């Protein structure tokens, strides 16, 4: 059921991105950019934006630019994450990673171009939001992606390799590396729904917790998952000396931590009352996912 929903949403975002890129001037980076962002990946961040939109009864046409922008940032982070100077992975989404297919320099530039494309997509005239909302969303996305978000988290992830770190330090790093983009997904829907500052922060916090849960599930996949289903190498965290919850408290305790985190997220969502079923289903999928 949820798998079908993910596929349906992924197709919508792919169509949007193809259309958007087709309207732009052609360049030789379009092909590696498309390779990195279209026809691959779960596009679960977009589904979470649509699910959050349901809570506020928002129409999908008001959300689609935000979804496409998030997927550009996410794919950019994966392209760069796979580079030899980062996690050095040759396989992504069941295909050679972008630098393996197009070369390192092109992969760096395609990643950078996806980053800037995200902001073009949000500020586009055809995006139905007000300029005020676009500005607030651009500011939030930049904040969640840069040194206070994904990039900052990635820096710590690399620095923490083969170091002894506390539970608190690892959770903080994972909340930035992975959680901040999920924070953006929920908070941007609250911005579009014109919610109060308090509510926007409340939803952002839930997003960050969902992101942490997503990262924990990713760590479980690395330990126990199948390379074929995940479409990327598994069993590499231990070899690389990655600091994860599993590395410091063990698999059993990390599983308990994740289960309790999921309970906390669902309880918080319940507090918000109606229309949270879709997001609840997606959160349940996250912890059990095999890909
Ligand atoms: C500033 C955006 C930006 C990037 C530069 C390289 C880097 C800094 C950050 C990497 C962050 C990273 C790889 C986090 C891991 C998040 C994660 C669990 C990714 C897997 O996401 P899925 O499963 O992937 O949604 P698919 O393939 O389904 O899209």
pTM recorded for the entire structure: 0.97
Residue (of 46, 53, 105) closest to 73 by Cα position = 46
The angle at the Cα of 261, spanning 251 to 288, to the nearest 5 degrees, equals 60
**Gap between the Cα atoms of 96 and 100, Å rounded:** 6
For a ligand 1 pocket test, name from 42, 73, 81 the mutation site with the most ligand atoms within 8 angstroms of its C-beta: 81
Distance 177 CA to ligand 1 centre (A): 8
CB atoms inside a 10 Å sphere around CB 168: 8
Q: What is the pLDDT of residue 11?
A: 98
The residue ranges of the chain whose pLDDT is under 50 are none
Q: Give yes or no for a contact between 150 and 177, defined as CB atoms under 8 angstroms apart.
A: yes
**φ, ψ dihedrals at 95, nearest 5°:** -130, 165
Query: Which atom of ligand 1 is the closest one to the Cα of 81?
Result: 6
Ligand 1, atom 7: nearest CA belongs to which residue? 77
Q: What is the pLDDT of residue 237?
A: 97
Residue (of 208, 152, 140) closest to 180 by Cα position = 208
Q: In the structure, which protein residues have their CB atom closer than 6 angstroms to any atom of ligand 1?
A: 41-42, 44, 73-74, 76-78, 80-81, 86, 93, 145, 150-151, 154, 177-178, 214-215, 218
Query: Which atom of ligand 1 is the closest one to the Cα of 115?
Result: 2
Residue (of 87, 95, 99) closest to 239 by Cα position = 87
Ligand 1, atom 26: nearest CA belongs to which residue? 41
Q: 3-state DSSP helix/strand/coil percent for the chain, to nearest 5?
A: 75, 0, 25
Q: What is the pLDDT of residue 272?
A: 81
Query: Which atom of ligand 1 is the closest one to the Cα of 92?
Result: 27
Q: What is the pLDDT of residue 28?
A: 98
Query: Which atom of ligand 1 is the closest one to the Cα of 71?
Result: 29
Q: What is the pLDDT of residue 273?
A: 75
Q: What is the pLDDT of residue 57?
A: 96
């Amino acid at each position: 059921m949820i798998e079908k929903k993910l596929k349906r949403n992924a197709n919508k975002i792919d169509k949007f991105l193809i259309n958007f890129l087709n309207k732009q001037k052609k360049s030789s980076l379009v092909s590696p950019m498309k390779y990195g962002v279209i026809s691959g990946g779960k596009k679960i961040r977009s589904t979470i934006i649509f699910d959050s939109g349901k809570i506020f009864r928002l129409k999908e046409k008001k959300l689609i630019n935000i979804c496409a922008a998030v997927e550009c940032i996410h794919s950019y982070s994966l392209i760069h994450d796979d580079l030899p100077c980062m996690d050095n992975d040759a396989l992504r989404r069941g295909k050679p990673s972008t630098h393996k297919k197009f070369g390192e320099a092109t992969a760096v530039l395609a990643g950078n171009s996806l980053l800037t494309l995200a902001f073009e997509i949000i500020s586009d005239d055809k995006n139905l939001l007000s300029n005020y909302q676009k500005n607030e969303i651009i500011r939030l996305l930049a904040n969640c992606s840069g040194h206070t978000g994904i990039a900052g988290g990635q820096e710590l992830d690399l620095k923490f390799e083969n170091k002894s770190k506390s539970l608190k330090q690892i959770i903080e790093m994972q909340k930035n590396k992975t959680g901040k983009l999920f924070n953006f997904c929920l908070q941007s829907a609250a911005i579009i729904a014109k919610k109060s500052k308090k509510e926007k922060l409340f939803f952002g916090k839930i997003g960050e917790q969902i992101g942490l849960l997503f990262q924990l599930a990713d760590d479980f996949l690395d330990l126990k998952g199948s390379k074929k289903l995940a479409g990327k190498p598994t069993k590499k965290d231990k070899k690389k000396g990655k600091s994860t919850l599993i590395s410091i408290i063990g698999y059993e305790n990390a599983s308990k931590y994740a289960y309790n985190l999921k309970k906390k997220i669902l309880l918080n969502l319940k507090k918000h009352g109606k229309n949270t079923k879709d997001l609840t289903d997606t959160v349940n999928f996250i912890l059990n996912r095999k890909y």
